[in-house]
Structure 1
């Protein structure tokens, strides 16, 4: 099973400017993801997909060759992950390099570990579309999530009457950390149409995804206060 480790890193970031190359605990954020990928893969199977010359320079200086600069049509706010994945698959296929699956690693998830990656691979089989990392949601459509009905009143998103959230069926949210994707499935349909998806549950701290300045401050605090011992920090 041959795996492409794809790290998508667009230059534009409205929440935290230049966050992918901003130092978190003295280390550029994207390097956390490169480091954990290198624990399992050779550099020629790790691809940073970016539209940004500055990110390319940072990654090249870290010793990882960026194989291409992402084209402009895949570089704005409306660019989808599906198109970015297909672009990378086609780039390598055009050069005679074929992959069975893609491990998509968002650089905004600095706390994933080698063991997390290994666990996702252990859960994967070739008949699946994807194994995806999730966290258990504290918000639940059976209990405390509501939608507005046609009369303008709130009603629970899903039918069910439970005394506490713990009694309600468990629900999960993608945490953005790891997506192990079957390339054959990807060629046939976009990710949101996948049907055979298996979850890999992570705890709240390791699931943290940086999207806002508050997220950044929380991650800095976690490292500084030693709430986790992370081999890549």
Structure 2
């Protein structure tokens, strides 16, 4: 039976780097995103890069819509086979003091970053528990473990993923399903490009450089292979959290 690795938010940044890394395995790689255009772009890019084109798939899906996720998961199970890995990389960020944060911004951050991952985890749990194996990787942030002024809501949404990860690891572990979280720091993506104080933050990074999406992909690859690791937070921040 063929196996599929699902990457929600796989069309950009960290998600697309993880997709590229996963194509080096024998599994099928399924890219899921709200934007069909972004999916087409990354699929074209990955196909032009080399091997694995026949194992690459893309589906438009909004993580805030449980019915869309359910349909995608069912389609993958029917057409490819078992789901071996789920990566939750879909996320949004916005800087705003809590006192002045608009209601719609608060709801969007929580809905996408936290509830979205709850939705996707719930959708894959049944097939993973039935097959008695599976690896779930949530993408959080060092902001979720250490906080930052102006990002209270974003921090709360990512902190919630830590609780989800640790609790779900206990719920699903007896059926062979592992759940871990990667907490990236300053990674060179579109999200980081919007920050106005990158240079100031860089002075707090022990390695004195921005991380690259491939640095996070390294951690994701490790967690897929590390079959005795579950319920853990893997920090990939170049030492930012040390200070």
Query: Normalization by structure 2: what TM-score?
Result: 0.39
Larger-Rg structure: 1
- Whichever structure has more helix as a proportion of its residues is 2
